[in-house]
Structure 1
Amino acid sequence: MKRIYLSLSLLLLVIIGSRAANFKFAFLTDIHITAGDSIPYNDLARSVNQINDTPGIEFAIVSGDITNIGDRQSMEVVKSLLDRLNVEYHIIPGNHETKWSESGVTDFARVFGSERFKFEHDGILFMGVNSGPIIRMADGHVAPQDIDWIKTELDKAGKEKPVIFITHYPLQPGDVDNWYDVTDAIRPYNIRLVMGGHYHKYMQLEYDGIPGILCRSNLRAKEKTGGYSLCEVTPDSIFIYEHKIGNVPTRKGAYSMTGMNYPKSNAGYPRPDYSVNKEFPQVSEQWLVRSGYEIFSSPAYWDKKVYVGDDSGAISCYSATDGRKQWSFKSDMRIIGTPAADKNVVVFGSADMNIYGLNASDGRLLWKINTEAPVLGAVTIRNGIAYIGGSDHKFRAIDIKSGTVVWSYDGVEGYIETKPLVYDNLVIFGAWDKNLYALDKKTGKEVWKWHEGKPGRFYSAAAVWPVAANGKVFIADPERVLTAIDASTGKTVWRTKESMVRETVGLSEDKRRIYSKTMNDSVVCYSTTTDFPEKIWASNVGFGYEHAPSMPVEKEGVVFGSTKNGLMFGLDAHTGKVLWKHKVGNSLISTLVPLSKNKCLFTATGGEIGLLVIDYKINKHK
């Protein structure tokens, strides 16, 4: 019996030893290739060559920002280089693929197969997810459907399986707005390390106590050569090395593969603060629906119904009274742009390369227009005509009843995400190509094109929804400049950097004032009647650092605004006095749709749809 026992013990040791064999993998991040730019191309090519020449590397992981502007051509360049690896690689997008993307981030999956990955190697589970943000300028966000996927896959793997988790952003406040949803989802399992990039340097962090590391960029930066991370997994540790091209690897971190490595309780770690809701009890949620998918656009309202598109490609109709879903129609890919509804027709574009017209009462398809690229633009309807731009360098005017294209302008140099402005005889919109366009409303012929300021698409007035009054068009761009443009000539009337606004502008109901969010705490108000930038008031709302393109909207003397971290607020339109605040979740709230000064529809990136009710009689003394 003793001899048999010893034999079984030796066999067990052999089995354990084989499952816990040492292995190495390469970790690449922040590659930032632009097609035609030889420096980042050569940095990646040299990394690929060195990985192939390094013995023992069994696979590679790539954690995003592989391109500079998220275009398909650059992604295909990256793929052509990564395909030279002698080992398999697993890849997720970064914010440069998700924020600037003419395809609405759909090209990433077309090129690489998926926006997330899961695989097992030598008994260790590796998982990676997209951490956004999709199109909008905001904090990172892990989609609710991805969090559900994480929970499902970890549950399948079991609580003993060691897991290495990969994102692009660090999972911490200020980087990912719903970091806590992710850390709470993975905490019950055997997470050994969370790996990422984004900051282009090594940083050892903790995500609500869970060990994390950020790794160097593949770019050479100010050095002579670039590099990547070489990771060695042993039965008891994972070691992270920096491997500069042509150099010997140097250790940057070491993490345990055994035992408890973080608290199993989330107690004591920071969470979003909702105390503002107690400060302003006059605001409540009449109803709130959780769609289960990311939402990137504002709601559309017509005939007591609310229309919302989401990341699953569905557009759904809800009762404005109680939030009950009336119907849902499914396109083939995510919906980015805000829909519009009128005359019992709802119109929207989809990343599936179609523009749709549906019966607004029951969701039946009335017509569909196929385009040559994803359609990310928001819709404006005037007098039975829908105006919408796409990523096929075209802007269209469509009869909403028949689906007939009235005219099409094909002179757009970039892609369109904004909501077009119809003003007098013009249709005005920006694109990610530096230009603001003004077209003849009836014919679609170009009247003027405007650009001023820094060159390049990153400074385009492309996310802002323009407004106009008193012969002037008003925009705010990523250069932190508020601008007035002569509507008839396209010439600049004035520009000001005084208030450091970014990509937001709203118009008063009497058309005498415009509003814009600054990038720190405040909303500012300027006159529309003067030929110079006359500031009327500035209000410290106290929302902190802010850069989300959600527009201020005035209704019945109240300016409604929202932020990237779930806060909504109301200001007195004439003085800027803060009337109320309310926080729903911690993700971006898109441009609000006030129905009156007492009621307001909202959508959030986290998938929430709801109706706020404000009772101004409560706390009237404040």
Structure 2
Amino acid sequence: MRFISAVGVVLVSAMMVACASDPTSREPAKLTDFQAEKKLKEVWSYSLGDGQAEAYHRITPAIDGDEIFIASSNGKVAVLNKSNGKKVWKKSYDLRIAGGVGVSGTLLFVGTSDGEVIAIDRISGDIVWRVPVSSEVLAAPQSNGSVVVVQTYSGEVQGLNFDDGKLLWSYSSQVPRLTLRGTSTPKIVSDIAMVGFANGRVVAFDVDNGAEIWEQRISVSEGSTEIERLVDVDGRLLVMGDGQTVVATGYQGQVMAIDIRSGRPIWVKNMSSYVGATENLGNVYVVTADGSVNAIDDNGQGALWTQTVLARRELTEPVAFDGAIGVGDFEGYLHMLSMEDGRLIARKRVDSDGLRAPMIVDGKLLYVYGNSGELVAYKLQER
């Protein structure tokens, strides 16, 4: 986990912060033996550029229709057939990509470390427009086909015209002195754009004009030191299957289910997390900052199970796949847990450089983008 301050860069493990009073708990949990019930079978793989490079990026692929879109930190973008991994096209751009990939209609969107948003023609790979924004873009720009919503690392959210990138509206939040290295990806539902901020809040906007609709505090700054007071909504927002509820996770804060239209909290759990949640079969699954994986009833009434065997392994956002919950770790292992009780059922090492980006699922395939730039599609099978 990386933190950045106004006076310099500080590299600190979130687990060390959480366990500072217990020096014996600072090391990542060692992998334990278990009885594998299933196996992860590679269907195809594709390597692109330098992946996440040395920067603490979480460049995440995107799927639309029959295609999957990926980008690398050193400016490469590729479009692949999602079923077999065959290349549709690949291009190299003089860009330092940090946030990507967003896709809507005929355009792909990436953001850069140099503070630009780039729109790329989905068919040809040509750059359609590029516009400067206030600072580095660490999350994929999102669009509803009319407005492109982008959040910058300086805490600004901008709405850009889909066709030419012209600025339509802008919103600025106050960025704390110390924040997590990253930003939440904007989420658009109908005419509402929702964004999580480094000050521990989620704000909903009218996507067309940027008018604020509601604001909800997910994390409250407390403690005597800057690290103790650090709060952030860094993980991706989860829109539940009903399309009416969004779940936000806050570092040193809470997990909160919010009514999308009114901003009213539906339920709240005191859990610290710096990655997003997932849902399946009436449950919400959350990875906490200390590395535990938790299943919560989607009405917020009870915790069904907690798995701590992967403590402090810097886990990715969880993903629901084929009756299991998958998480990646800093050593590049993909772990599959039973949805029933959280027991380990399968494990595969994907990338020795580690896993950081959220994984994505489409049908019977799980797509994992390793830090080194290897995108792998897996099936989960009985042993």
TM-score bracket relative to the smaller structure: 0.7 to 0.9
2:331 to 559, 565, 569: 565
Indicate the SS of the match to 2:214: strand
Post-superposition Cα deviations, 1:2-42, rounded to whole Å, max 9, x if no partner, equal: xxxxxxxxxxxxxxxxxxxxxxxxxxxxxxxxxxxxxxxxx
Question: What is aligned with 2:197?
Answer: 431
Q: Answer with 587-596 or 463-472: which moved more.
A: 463-472
Alpha-carbon distance change, 303 to 494 in structure 1, aligned in 2, over 3 angstroms? closer
Indicate the SS of the match to 2:100: coil
Q: CA RMSD in A?
A: 3.7
1:446 to 209, 212, 226: 212
1:409 to 163, 167, 170: 170
Question: What is aligned with 2:93?
Answer: 330
Post-superposition Cα deviations, 1:230-274, rounded to whole Å, max 9, x if no partner, equal: xxxxxxxxxxxxxxxxxxxxxxxxxxxxxxxxxxxxxxxxxx979
Q: Is the 8 A contact 2:333 2:349 kept in 1?
A: yes
Q: Is the 8 A contact 1:546 1:563 kept in 2?
A: yes
Question: What is aligned with 2:19?
Answer: none
Question: What is aligned with 1:130?
Answer: none
Indicate the SS of the match to 1:542: coil
2:285 to 510, 515, 526: 515
Indicate the SS of the match to 1:69: strand
Q: Is the 8 A contact 1:602 1:609 kept in 2?
A: yes
Post-superposition Cα deviations, 1:558-593, rounded to whole Å, max 9, x if no partner, equal: 434323332223445465565433221341242111
Query: What is the number of residues matched between the two proteins?
Result: 354
Q: Is the 8 A contact 2:237 2:248 kept in 1?
A: yes
Confirm or deny that 1:69 pairs with 2:13: no
In the alignment, the residues of structure 2 paired with residue 496 and residue 591 of structure 1 have an alpha-carbon distance, to the nearest angstrom, of 22
In the alignment, the residues of structure 2 paired with residue 520 and residue 601 of structure 1 have an alpha-carbon distance, to the nearest angstrom, of 25
Alpha-carbon distance change, 588 to 565 in structure 1, aligned in 2, over 3 angstroms? same
Indicate the SS of the match to 1:442: coil
Alpha-carbon distance change, 424 to 345 in structure 1, aligned in 2, over 3 angstroms? closer
Give the superposition deviation at 1:346: 0.9
Alpha-carbon distance change, 439 to 303 in structure 1, aligned in 2, over 3 angstroms? same
Q: Is the 8 A contact 1:524 1:535 kept in 2?
A: no
Confirm or deny that 1:524 pairs with 2:281: no
1:475 to 235, 243, 248: 248
- Looking at secondary structure, tell me which structure has more helix per residue: 1
* Paired-residue identity, %: 12
Question: What is aligned with 1:377?
Answer: 139
Question: What is aligned with 1:593?
Answer: 360
Q: Trace 1:190-589 onto structure 2 (pairs within 5 A).
A: 279=36, 282-291=39-48, 293-295=50-52, 296=57, 297-320=59-82, 321-322=84-85, 324=87, 326-333=89-96, 335-383=97-145, 385-400=147-162, 402-405=163-166, 407-414=168-175, 417-423=183-189, 425-451=191-217, 452-454=219-221, 459-469=230-240, 472-479=245-252, 481-497=254-270, 500-508=271-279, 512-519=282-289, 522-529=292-299, 533-540=300-307, 542-548=309-315, 550-555=316-321, 557-573=323-339, 576=342, 578-586=344-352, 587-589=354-356
Alpha-carbon distance change, 579 to 443 in structure 1, aligned in 2, over 3 angstroms? farther
Question: What is aligned with 2:20?
Answer: none
Q: Trace 1:18-29 onto structure 2 (pairs within 5 A).
A: none
In the alignment, the residues of structure 1 paired with residue 101 and residue 174 of structure 2 have an alpha-carbon distance, to the nearest angstrom, of 23
In the alignment, the residues of structure 2 paired with residue 516 and residue 387 of structure 1 have an alpha-carbon distance, to the nearest angstrom, of 26
Give the superposition deviation at 1:282: 2.6
TM-score of the superposed pair, with normalisation by structure 2: 0.77
Q: Is the 8 A contact 2:200 2:220 kept in 1?
A: no
Q: Is the 8 A contact 1:396 1:405 kept in 2?
A: no
Alpha-carbon distance change, 289 to 138 in structure 1, aligned in 2, over 3 angstroms? farther
In the alignment, the residues of structure 1 paired with residue 166 and residue 341 of structure 2 have an alpha-carbon distance, to the nearest angstrom, of 44
In the alignment, the residues of structure 2 paired with residue 360 and residue 274 of structure 1 have an alpha-carbon distance, to the nearest angstrom, of 44
In the alignment, the residues of structure 1 paired with residue 160 and residue 339 of structure 2 have an alpha-carbon distance, to the nearest angstrom, of 35
Give the superposition deviation at 1:367: 1.4
Confirm or deny that 1:608 pairs with 2:374: yes
Q: Is the 8 A contact 1:428 1:437 kept in 2?
A: yes
Q: Is the 8 A contact 2:38 2:345 kept in 1?
A: no
Give the superposition deviation at 1:432: 1.8
Give the superposition deviation at 1:300: 1.5
In the alignment, the residues of structure 2 paired with residue 480 and residue 389 of structure 1 have an alpha-carbon distance, to the nearest angstrom, of 21
Alpha-carbon distance change, 521 to 391 in structure 1, aligned in 2, over 3 angstroms? closer
Give the superposition deviation at 1:472: 4.3
In the alignment, the residues of structure 1 paired with residue 246 and residue 67 of structure 2 have an alpha-carbon distance, to the nearest angstrom, of 31
Q: Is the 8 A contact 1:589 1:605 kept in 2?
A: yes
Show structure 1 runs of 4+ deviating over 6 A: 272-276
Code of the residue aligned with 1:484 in structure 2: it is A
Give the superposition deviation at 1:377: 2.4
Q: Is the 8 A contact 2:193 2:206 kept in 1?
A: yes
Give the superposition deviation at 1:606: 3.1
Q: Is the 8 A contact 1:339 1:348 kept in 2?
A: yes
In the alignment, the residues of structure 2 paired with residue 342 and residue 553 of structure 1 have an alpha-carbon distance, to the nearest angstrom, of 22
Alpha-carbon distance change, 449 to 363 in structure 1, aligned in 2, over 3 angstroms? same
Q: Is the 8 A contact 1:274 1:583 kept in 2?
A: no
Structure 1, unaligned runs of 5 or more? 1-64, 76-92, 97-132, 140-172, 176-271
In the alignment, the residues of structure 1 paired with residue 323 and residue 146 of structure 2 have an alpha-carbon distance, to the nearest angstrom, of 29
Structure 2, unaligned runs of 5 or more? 17-25
Indicate the SS of the match to 2:172: coil
In the alignment, the residues of structure 2 paired with residue 479 and residue 314 of structure 1 have an alpha-carbon distance, to the nearest angstrom, of 35
Give the superposition deviation at 1:70: 4.0
Code of the residue aligned with 1:464 in structure 2: it is G
- Looking at secondary structure, tell me which structure has more strand per residue: 2
In the alignment, the residues of structure 2 paired with residue 494 and residue 432 of structure 1 have an alpha-carbon distance, to the nearest angstrom, of 22
Indicate the SS of the match to 1:429: strand
Code of the residue aligned with 1:495 in structure 2: it is V
Code of the residue aligned with 1:69 in structure 2: it is I
Give the superposition deviation at 1:384: 5.1
Q: Is the 8 A contact 1:426 1:441 kept in 2?
A: yes
TM-score of the superposed pair, with normalisation by structure 1: 0.50
